[in-house]
Chains A and B, each alone.
Chain A
Amino acid sequence: METAIEGKAFAPSSGEAPLLSIEDLQVSFYTYAGEVHAVRGVSYSVKKGSSLAVVGESGCGKTVTVQSVMRLIPTPPGRIKGGRIIFKGKDILALSEKEMQSVRGKEIGMIFQDPMTGLNPTMNVGSQIVEAIVKHQRVDKATAWEKAVKMLEMVEIPNPKVRALQYPHQYSGGMRQRAMIAMALACEPDLLIADEPTTSLDVTIQSQILDLLLELQERLGMTIIIITHNLGVVARLANEIVVMYAGKVVEQGTSSQIFYRPLHPYTHALLRSVPRLDRKTRTALASIPGTPPDLFVPPKGCAFAPRCPRAMKVCLEADAFPMELEKEHQVSCWLYHESNPRAAMELEKGGVAIER
């Protein structure tokens, strides 16, 4: 029987060139304790108009990866050691700092995790948005201010004319995140990166902000990369998913592939750790046993192997590489390698571990 198993790394998934593609990105932090290998060869890409979610336990390198795209990694201690980041055909890592300034805010907008500290406390919110507009567009202050008010209106801040003149401390957490979104979108960027935009907000506000992002994405046809812990968020917002573990991508595919046909044992574990409303009995939330590896000395095998219920001998000795097992669905796991005689069977049943 012919299987779809081939070791094709970074296989382009479709014909048209993606808006952004990250290729074999490596980022390290040089600390007193040694080199932290935060990102160890990450590759993923996002097509124009698509929304990509990046998931994975905290500390797995999601933030570092997207901050590399914006070249916001503090150097030192951080250093981008290798790889390429191709955005609209140009390599971001090769741009000068000056050229980078016209990418930031104008072509790529970014929303950060903590809206409470992300705004300048001594500058009114309107001015902070105006600053971005004036920087990238040839408009006078008055026009920019009007635009800023319009942006606040767009993110559904009530009474935007008055609110624009207020300071961040007069805004609630949810409103601040709305203001951050307004600021990130003020110059109509091609790509919006949202790094855990709702994590620090309370639940009802979280869903409001998500609704807003969803609506804006539809209305503006925006391309979004959203980082989140919350798989509920992913299900609602993303049409592609990247699963990261210990500085690497372990699986990526379309939203339905990942949710309905997850292949990597880590993805299984991640999905099992989500509370399910459809289960009648309150089964205990399966948290993944064990801890992620030490990134000072990354293991030579698969980083998940020590916690993996399906780990084999080879997993401890060598790391798997990305294999495209079905269209647009890549996974890095030895279970599916052709050297495993049961690979085809594993693929058929989706690598599910025998329930303990």
Chain B
Amino acid sequence: MGRYILKRFVFMLVSMWVIVTACFILMNAVPGSPFTTAKMTPLVRKQLEQKYGLDKPLWQQYVTLLKNLLRGDLGISIRERGRSVNGIIASRFPVSLVLGTEALAFAVTTGLALGVIASLYRGKTLDYIAIIIAILGVSVPNFVVASVLQYVLGAKLKLLPIARWESPAHHILPAFALGLTTLATMARMMRSSMLEVINQDYVRTAKAKGLTPTQITWRHCIRNAILPVVTILGPLIAGITTGTLVVERMFGIPGLGRYFVDSIYNRDYPLIMGTTVFYSAILLLMTFLVDVAYGFIDPRIRLAKGRAD
């Protein structure tokens, strides 16, 4: 197990370095610079470029970047006059985190429950309802879901606030819109995983022991069916993370997503790099944690790797 975790961890670091390098290359390959849009004399531009180190050769910029990243310093934003990228992230990310966590918690619990119910009522009405939700959830993009919810529940029925980020009621629509795809994917995966497990020999063994259907479902079916579903949590969290970029904008939520998108339009190099590094770090960390969690749930991995140490 220790070796398994170490391997995953090294993999995570290497991926991070690849992302930083790719981002650096792309950023410099795209035409334009932070100062192309602003009106300024060549002299002023030169001074500004000097200030942000953009006049140095690229390899030097790259080395400085890596050095700063290792110290955890993401630099100073060019557009947001003098604010550090670290500061921007620290002030804005908590909002995104709350939204993302709410969406994830809602999606995972409801999705799993829906999948389990669908599998237990295979071919019956409840199953079809679950399948329809799953298909809708996967095929309808979150911005469409968001606008439909805003229109129907917000504008027409006036049940929930349309936008902004104030009372708990303000969280419901964006969290739902953001989580729906994940919910649907979870439900679909869990359903097929359950259907597979239900036909396994060990479920029959459990029944032959005289266990009740509830005991069989909880201890033998769900426990095994959830394993493959856990592995897709990584990509699903990635989906929610990127989803915040859109949903925050649509609901006027003051999260980090807005800065990520704007930084690209503005060619705000430090902010692009900073937010990219930050988002990637979250995703890689999540994937890492999911892998580790999987190793812990599945005794075949936990113990096999443990012995290899």
Question: Residues of A with Cβ closer than 8 Å to B?
Answer: 70, 72, 101-106, 109-110, 112, 114, 117-124, 131-132, 135-136, 167, 169-170, 180, 183-184
- Contact, CB under 8 Å: A122 / B211: no
- Contact, CB under 8 Å: B204 / A72: yes
How many chain B residues sit at the interface, stated as a range, is 20 to 34
9-residue interface stretch from B21-29, B59-67, B298-306: B298-306
- Tell me the smallest distance from the CB of B229 to a CB of chain A, in Å: 13
- Contact, CB under 8 Å: B209 / A135: yes
- Contact, CB under 8 Å: A123 / B223: yes
- Residue among A70, A118, A122, A123 making CB contact with B201, cutoff 8 Å: A118
Given contacts A117-B200, A117-B202, A123-B219, whether A101 and B299 have CB atoms under 8 Å apart is: no
Interface residues of B in 278-301 (CB under 8 A from A): 297-300
- Tell me the smallest distance from the CB of A8 to a CB of chain B, in Å: 35
- Contact, CB under 8 Å: A104 / B208: yes
On chain A, the residues within 8 Å of B227 by CB distance are 122
- Contact, CB under 8 Å: B299 / A118: no
Interface presence of B224 (CB below 8 A): yes
Complex formed: what's the CA distance from A179 to B244 in Å? 51
On chain B, the residues within 8 Å of A123 by CB distance are 219-220, 223
Given contacts A101-B210, A103-B210, A132-B210, whether A167 and B202 have CB atoms under 8 Å apart is: no
Given contacts A167-B303, A169-B299, A169-B300, whether A121 and B208 have CB atoms under 8 Å apart is: no
Complex formed: what's the CA distance from A184 to B210 in Å? 11
- Tell me the smallest distance from the CB of B227 to a CB of chain A, in Å: 7
On chain A, the residues within 8 Å of B299 by CB distance are 121-122, 124, 167, 169
- Contact, CB under 8 Å: A112 / B210: no
- Tell me the smallest distance from the CB of B5 to a CB of chain A, in Å: 20
On chain B, the residues within 8 Å of A184 by CB distance are 208
Interface presence of B205 (CB below 8 A): yes
For the complex of A and B, the 7 pairs showing the least CB-CB separation, nearest first, are A105-B210, A104-B210, A117-B201, A105-B209, A132-B209, A167-B299, A120-B202
- Residue among A118, A122, A124, A180 making CB contact with B224, cutoff 8 Å: A122
Chain A residues touching B, majority SS: loop
- Contact, CB under 8 Å: B297 / A122: yes
Given contacts A105-B210, A167-B303, whether A112 and B205 have CB atoms under 8 Å apart is: yes
Interface presence of B125 (CB below 8 A): no
On chain B, the residues within 8 Å of A119 by CB distance are 202, 205
Chain A, Cβ-Cβ closest to B307: A170
- Contact, CB under 8 Å: A112 / B219: no
Chain B, Cβ-Cβ closest to A97: B213
- Contact, CB under 8 Å: A106 / B210: yes
- Tell me the smallest distance from the CB of A85 to a CB of chain B, in Å: 16
On chain A, the residues within 8 Å of B300 by CB distance are 121, 167, 169
Interface presence of B212 (CB below 8 A): yes
Chain B, Cβ-Cβ closest to A101: B210
- Contact, CB under 8 Å: B224 / A131: no
- Contact, CB under 8 Å: B202 / A118: yes
On chain A, the residues within 8 Å of B206 by CB distance are 120, 131
- Contact, CB under 8 Å: B209 / A104: yes
Known A104-B209, A120-B206, A131-B211; further 11 A-B contacts with Cβ < 8 A: A101-B212, A110-B208, A112-B208, A114-B201, A119-B205, A120-B205, A122-B223, A122-B224, A132-B209, A169-B299, A169-B304
14 contacts across the A-B interface (CB closer than 8 A): A70-B208, A101-B211, A101-B212, A104-B209, A105-B209, A105-B211, A112-B205, A117-B200, A118-B204, A121-B299, A131-B206, A135-B215, A167-B300, A184-B208
Complex formed: what's the CA distance from A184 to B205 in Å? 9
Interface presence of B83 (CB below 8 A): no
